[in-house]
Amino acid sequence: MTTSPAHHTDATTPSGHSSPAPPSAPAPTTGVGTATGPGGASGHPGRLPLADRADVRAWVGAFLRGEAARLLLTFALFAAALVAALVGPRLLGHLVESVKAGTTTGRVDLLALAFVAILLCHALLARAARTRATLLGERVLARTRENFVRRVLRLPLSEVESVGTGDLLSRATTDADRLNESIRQAVPRIALAAVTLVFTFAAILLTSPLLALGLLAGVPFAVLSTWWYRPRATRAYERLLGQEADVLAVTHETARGAATVEALGLGPRQVRRHGAAVDQVVRTRQRTTWLQTIWFPSLDLATMVPMALTLLIGGLAYQRGAVGLGALTAVVLYVQALGEPLNDLLTWTDELQIGNAALRRILGVNRLPREEPRPPAATEGHAIRLEGVGFGYGPGREVLSGIDLDIAAGERLVVVGASGAGKSTLGKLLAGVHYPTRGTVRIGGVDIADLPVGQLRREIVLVTQEQHVFTGTVRDNLTLAREEAPPDERLWEALDTVLLTDWARALPDGLDSEIGPGAAPVSPSAAQQLALARLLLSDPHALVLDEATALLDSTASRRVERALAALIEGRTVISIVHRLDSVRDADRIAVMDRGRIVELGSHDQLLAADGAYASLWHSWQITRPDTPRTRPTPDPGPTAG
The residues that touch ligand ATP, with contacts defined as CB under 6 A, are 40-41, 44, 161, 393, 399, 417, 419-425
Q: How far is the CB of 153 from ligand ATP (least distance, A)?
A: 21
What Rg, from alpha-carbon coordinates, does the chain have? Answer: 34
Do the Cβ atoms of 31 and 535 come closer than 8 Å?
Answer: yes
Nearer to ligand ATP, 105 or 419 (CB): 419
Nearer to ligand ATP, 214 or 417 (CB): 417
Nearer to ligand ATP, 1 or 21 (CB): 1
Q: How far is the CB of 45 from ligand ATP (least distance, A)?
A: 11
Nearer to ligand ATP, 254 or 425 (CB): 425
First-residue to last-residue Cα distance in the chain? 31
Q: How far is the CB of 548 from ligand ATP (least distance, A)?
A: 13
Report DSSP state, residue 433.
S
Q: How far is the CB of 37 from ligand ATP (least distance, A)?
A: 8
Give dist(CA 241, CA 602) in Å, integer: 54
**Type of residue at 296:** F
Nearer to ligand ATP, 233 or 600 (CB): 600
Nearer to ligand ATP, 34 or 366 (CB): 34
DSSP collapsed to 3 states, 248-268 = HHHHHHHHHCHHHHHHCCCHH
Q: How far is the CB of 425 from ligand ATP (least distance, A)?
A: 3
Q: How far is the CB of 42 from ligand ATP (least distance, A)?
A: 9
Do the Cβ atoms of 92 and 333 come closer than 8 Å?
Answer: yes
Do the Cβ atoms of 169 and 59 come closer than 8 Å?
Answer: no
CA distances from 585 to 387, 527, 589, 633 (A): 26, 27, 10, 8
Give dist(CA 475, CA 515) in Å, integer: 10
Q: How far is the CB of 613 from ligand ATP (least distance, A)?
A: 15
Q: How many CB atoms lie within 10 A of CB 80?
A: 17
3-state secondary structure of 156: coil
Nearer to ligand ATP, 41 or 568 (CB): 41
Q: How far is the CB of 375 from ligand ATP (least distance, A)?
A: 30
Element (H, E) at 127: helix 105-153
Helical H segments across 365-487, by residue range: 423-430, 453-459, 474-479
Q: How far is the CB of 547 from ligand ATP (least distance, A)?
A: 7
Q: What angle do CA 292, 293, 298 make, to 5 degrees?
A: 90
Q: How far is the CB of 21 from ligand ATP (least distance, A)?
A: 27
Do the Cβ atoms of 97 and 135 come closer than 8 Å?
Answer: no
**Type of residue at 141:** L
Give dist(CA 342, CA 299) in Å, integer: 9
Q: How far is the CB of 165 from ligand ATP (least distance, A)?
A: 13
Query: What is the residue-wise DSSP string for 466-478?
Result: ---PPSEEHHHHH
Asked if residue 375 has a cis previous peptide bond (ω within 30° of 0), the answer is no
Nearer to ligand ATP, 432 or 444 (CB): 432
Coarse DSSP helix, strand, coil percentages of the chain, rounded to the nearest 5 percent:
60, 10, 25
CB proximity list for 510: less than 8 A, separation 6 or greater: 474, 504
Q: How far is the CB of 465 from ligand ATP (least distance, A)?
A: 10
Nearer to ligand ATP, 315 or 402 (CB): 402
3-state secondary structure of 624: coil
What are the backbone angles phi and psi of residue 71, rounded to the nearest 5°?
-60, -45
Query: Chain-centre distance of CA 69, in angstroms?
Result: 31
Q: What is the dihedral of CA 534, 535, 539, 541, to 10 degrees?
A: 170
Nearer to ligand ATP, 184 or 423 (CB): 423
Nearer to ligand ATP, 41 or 81 (CB): 41
Element (H, E) at 589: strand 588-593
Nearer to ligand ATP, 421 or 469 (CB): 421
Give dist(CA 231, CA 356) in Å, integer: 12
Nearer to ligand ATP, 424 or 557 (CB): 424
Nearer to ligand ATP, 29 or 74 (CB): 29
Report DSSP state, residue 121.
H
